[in-house]
Amino acid sequence: MFLITCPFCGEREESEFSYGHEAHIKRPENPESLSDAEWADYLFMRKNTKGPHLERWVHTAGCRRWFNVARNTHTNEILAIYRMGEQPPKEIKAMIDEKAKS
Amino acid sequence: MTRYSIFSLLRNAMGYHQDWQQAWRSPDPKQEYDVVIVGGGGHGLATAYYLAKEHGITNVAVLEKGWLGGGNTGRNTTIIRSNYLWDESAGLYEKSLQLFEGLSQDINYNIMLSQRGVLNLAHNLHDVRETRRRVNANKLNGIDSEYIGPEQIRELVPIINLDPNIRYPVLGSSLQRRGGTARHDAVAWGLARAADARGVDIIQNCEVTGFDISDGKITGVQTSRGAIKAKKVGVVVAGHCTVMSDMAGFRMPIESHPLQAMVSDPVKPVIDVVVMSGAVHCYVSQSDKGELVLGAGIDAHTSYSQRGSLHIIEEQIAAVCELFPLFSRMRLMRQWGGIVDTCPDASPIISKTPVDGLYFNCGWGTGGFKATPGSGWVFAHTIAKDEPHPLNSAFALDRFHSGRLIDEHGAAAVAH
């Protein structure tokens, strides 16, 4: 059990929220022009990062609004919380880029 | 290898059990192997064993970053069954169950297989129809399976709550009499001992940190104990499979979740079958020590932390206490979590990969233990022949391109 700070309601227990899996997956603009492999990549393939991971949560038992969370999947430490449509903070992006290089 | 028997037991009793041979060697890694298996859990050890036994490939190393069977092999609820819906799954899981039935004799190690029967409960009309459908599908595939009503359930499990007025009443159940449990540690240790006896090097505390790939072909692995060359590499690492596929440079349709299990304090024998319910999310059996072995559902979020959230256990225990009111005053002795690699269709991936000579066996999600010998058997064939066995050809990575998914969410018992 961990605590999540809803950007609209404040800090609540994890059990009030539902998980929305990996964030920033863009629906392809021209699905009909995609190959089967490209479509499978969009539909099924996931980062499943061990470490800093960008994901979506929804405050199901509260305001019922969606938001993005950067969480370390190894320690469950929440690194940043930012609204839908926004990009993650720069330091989180740097952390993820560094992880991808190693 | 000293053969275990009544005579070796008597002989060693004379020496106060001081002279037992170590069950497996712990050699330093060689420079090069024909096949390197990454992951020393049940599936990896079974793969190494069948590579040596069925295909005569004995220049094999099993690399384990921790200790043998310390991951999901030692953390599951030890349930074995093969009552899956689709033909592809039926073939694979039934092969595994058949191998389990002869495994103690085959590897000369008592895995304490107990074919006590497995019940999968139905709690509403849809469950009943779906269970009947699955039982019929099992029968068409030659798998023993039957549908039983509340009266027969009462005979098998007198302590179950059959009150029709509870929130999720028990309306019926499937029963696989050949299903049951086995001692999970013994499966790992026995396979390790048998593989070692055929020449396989089992190397613990050796973490793989990278793959050596040239011209799209695997040439070896980088490890915490130095570089090891290999003609072929089989990866069987459960929750960490995308960490491995990232190193190899391709993507997988896998998400890793915590899955929790727990045991109660030990009591006199009270339940002699396995009872599972996918709908209310509980599964119960009683170990030989008398502990109730209970399994919960997965946490919804992805995680590598090997520990889940408390509210998942709370839901699981609520379900157990409604089904078995007499358990309500028992205490839990231990609870733990493992990291399961879940696939979108709740079926495994046992497959070649975009890298030549690199093979993946993963995606077993919440139910890999029952498949341990079968998984190793088909994976050994896939590695040895560089092509899948007919039993696992449908479980290739490219099914996510073709759309030929094998949806076993119904039979998987733990929803994900």
Distance CA B223, CA B65 (A): 9
- A57: closest chain B residue by CA: B301
| Angstrom distances, CA of residue B37 to CA of B171, B201, B233, B323, B379 | 45, 10, 6, 42, 11
- B304: closest chain A residue by CA: A74
Residue with tokens 């790939």: B213
How many helices (H) does chain B have, and how many strands (E)?
A: 10, 18
Q: Which two tokens stand for residue B125?
A: 């009309």
Distance CA B324, CA B234 (A): 43
Distance CA B281, CA B220 (A): 42
Distance CA B54, CA B10 (A): 32
Distance CA B20, CA B11 (A): 10
Distance CA B215, CA B183 (A): 44
> Chain B contacts of A36, Cβ < 8 Å?
401-403
For the four alpha carbons of A74, B47, B207 and B395, in that order, the dihedral sign comes to negative
Question: Would you give the DSSP letter of residue A87?
Answer: P
- Residue B325: phi and psi, rounded to 5, are -55, -30
Any chain B CB within 8 A of the CB of A73? yes
Report the amino acid identity of residue B210. Answer: G
In this prediction, residue B415 carries a pLDDT of 62
> Chain A contacts of B304, Cβ < 8 Å?
50, 73-74
Distance CA B348, CA B394 (A): 10
Distance CA B129, CA B122 (A): 9
In this prediction, residue B383 carries a pLDDT of 98
Q: Which two tokens stand for residue B393?
A: 């050809």
| Angstrom distances, CA of residue B148 to CA of B72, B81, B167, B323, B371 | 32, 17, 21, 17, 25
Contact yes or no for A73 and B401 at CB 8 A: no
Q: How many CA atoms lie within 13 A of B318 on its CB side?
A: 12
Task: Detail the DSSP E strand segments found in B237-289.
Answer: 255-264, 274-277, 282-286
Residue B75: name the closest of B42, B120, B39 by CA: B42
Spatial CB neighbours of B91, under 8 Å, sequence gap ≥ 6: B141, B390, B391
Distance CA A38, CA A45 (A): 10
Report the predicted TM-score, pTM, of the whole model to 2 decimal places: 0.96
What number of other Cβ atoms are within 10 A of residue A76's Cβ? 18
8 Å CB contact between B55 and B384: yes
In this prediction, residue B282 carries a pLDDT of 84
Residue with tokens 């709550």: B161
Interface of A with B in 9-68 (CB under 8 A): 13-15, 18-19, 21, 36-37, 40-41, 43-50, 53, 55
> Chain A contacts of B402, Cβ < 8 Å?
36
Q: Is B31 exposed, middle or buried (0-12, 13-18, 19+ CB in 10 A)?
A: exposed
ipTM over cut 0.90:
yes
- B255 beta partners: B342
3-state helix, strand and coil shares in percent for chain A, rounded to the nearest 5: 25, 35, 40
8 Å CB contact between B80 and B182: yes
Contact yes or no for B302 and A53 at CB 8 A: yes
Distance CA A82, CA A84 (A): 7
Contact yes or no for B251 and A41 at CB 8 A: yes
- In terms of C-beta distances under 8 Å and separation of at least 24 residues, what long-range contacts does A36-39 make, across chains too? A36/B401, A36/B402, A36/B403, A37/B401
8 Å CB contact between B363 and B36: no
8 Å CB contact between B296 and B315: yes
> Chain B contacts of A68, Cβ < 8 Å?
none
Q: Which two tokens stand for residue A52?
A: 């800093």
pLDDT along chain B (416 residues), means of 10: 92 93 95 97 98 98 96 96 97 98 97 97 95 97 97 97 94 97 97 98 97 97 97 97 96 96 96 93 93 94 93 93 94 95 96 97 95 98 97 97 93 70
What is the enclosing helix (H) or strand (E) of B148?
strand B146-148
Distance CA B176, CA B346 (A): 20
Q: Which two tokens stand for residue B298?
A: 């997965």
In this prediction, residue B300 carries a pLDDT of 93
Cα of B415 to nearest chain A Cα, Å:
15
Contact yes or no for A48 and B301 at CB 8 A: no
Q: H-type helices in B218-340, by residue range?
A: 241-248, 310-323
